[in-house]
Amino acid sequence: MDESEFQRKEYAPSTEVHIVRAETYWLRYCEVVLQGSDPWYLDLRANKNGKRKPPVKSRQSLTTFWCNFRLAVERAVNVKVNKLIDVSLVRNGLAHLGKIYKLKTDKTMNREMTMDGLKRQIETTLCTPEKSFILGELRILAVLFLLLVAPAGSRPASILKLRFRHLRISLNRDPEDPNGYPRLLIQLHLEFTKQYLGPKAT
């Protein structure tokens, strides 16, 4: 029995993809005879399939790659990278490379949408005659998507993993109009919220 398999920390599937990608770049690096001392990853212009690799434009992207690469190294040798070296490299080494390669340091600001703005967007989607839908159901699904984007926050990709089994639909009496039509309430199951909508800095 290989005990090292049980000593590995489990990561989310999306993080595993980035770790494997970092391992792939490391294997490619080992197969190449470098000339000079320029950082190989920043100069790389094609992926393993020969297709164009998007260039690194921001220091944050380089830092993210280093974090994934560090996890790949720790997994390969089963030894953690020295914390002092890790912090020094991120603060000094990557910052130095950022200046050489003129990487962007400004953070992309998230576009804000208030609840009033979301309400107007939904009313427009439901009522405007300027936008036509092949099926009326598609108009309702578009509104449902907008409603689900709000709690998703900075995790828009989580909506792509949403399934009908994650939704709980119920009719509830309107507290402001008890004798009127019931209101449709859409809730997300705890399974979905815990797995995809956990805490994350925005």
List the chain domain ranges. 4-100, 115-196
pLDDT of residue 34: 44
pLDDT of residue 1: 45
Residue-level pLDDT, tens digit, the chain, 202 residues: 454 554 556 777 788 888 888 888 777 766 654 443 346 677 777 777 778 878 888 888 888 888 888 888 888 888 887 887 777 777 788 888 888 888 888 776 666 777 788 888 888 887 877 767 777 777 777 777 777 766 656 566 677 777 778 778 888 888 888 888 888 777 777 666 666 655 554 4
Sequence-ordered list of residues with C-beta below 8 angstroms from that of 65, at least 6 positions apart, any chain = 22, 41, 56
- The distance in angstroms from the start CA to the end CA of the chain is 42
pLDDT of residue 36: 39
Please say whether the beta carbons of 147 and 186 come within 8 A: yes
Give me the amino acid identity at 65: F
pLDDT of residue 196: 60
Beta strands in 106-197 (DSSP E): 167-172, 183-188
Place of tokens 């576009």: 111
Please say whether the beta carbons of 153 and 201 come within 8 A: no
Token digits of residue 83? 């914390």
Phi, psi of 186 (to 5 degrees): -110, 120
State how far the alpha carbon of 42 is from the alpha carbons of 25, 29, 174, 191, in Å.
11, 12, 58, 39
Per DSSP, what are the bridge partners of residue 174?
none
Q: What share of the chain is helix, strand, coil (3-state, %, to 5)?
A: 55, 10, 40
What is the model's pTM? 0.46
3-class DSSP state of 36: coil
